[in-house]
Amino acid sequence: MNTSLSSWLVIFVALFAASLPFVSERVFGIVPLKSPIKKSAWLRLAELIVLYFIVGALGFFLESNAGNRFEQKWEFFAVTACLFIVLAFPGFVFRYLLKSQKTNTKQ
């Protein structure tokens, strides 16, 4: 896999993974919760953090397969965490802003 393809793969996986906690009522999109329980915002945030590290591990794996892995300092992780939060914005809008707008128009 060439470098350009692996970079786009990480970006698309990050976009999907960042929106997943907000789009699905299942934990990590796989494990269903008991029926009367809805996912809380704290659980969604915890999922977002875990998925950030999973996508980071995928990027680390692809980078080490492509050749030499570069050393990353705290600045890299701060920027990528902020980027991951920005990528979660469409899912957040879907969950909290669009759903409440649809509820308000029905009343």
pLDDT of amino acid 72: 84
What pTM, to 2 d.p., does this model score? 0.79
Q: pLDDT of 57-104, one tens digit each?
A: 998 888 888 777 778 889 989 999 999 999 999 888 888 887 656 655
Residue 39 structure tokens: 């996912």
How would residue 54 be classed by pLDDT, with cut points 50, 70 and 90?
Answer: very high
- Residue 4 confidence (pLDDT): 80
- Binned at pLDDT 50, 70 and 90, residue 107 comes out as low
Domain boundaries, the chain: 3-106
26 neighbors 32 (Cβ within 8 angstroms): yes
DSSP letter string, 17-36: HHHHHHH-SSBTTTBPPPTT
What is the radius of gyration, based on Cα positions, of the chain? 16
Cα four-point dihedral sign 3, 72, 67, 62: negative
Phi first, then psi: give them for residue 103, nearest 5 degrees. -70, -40
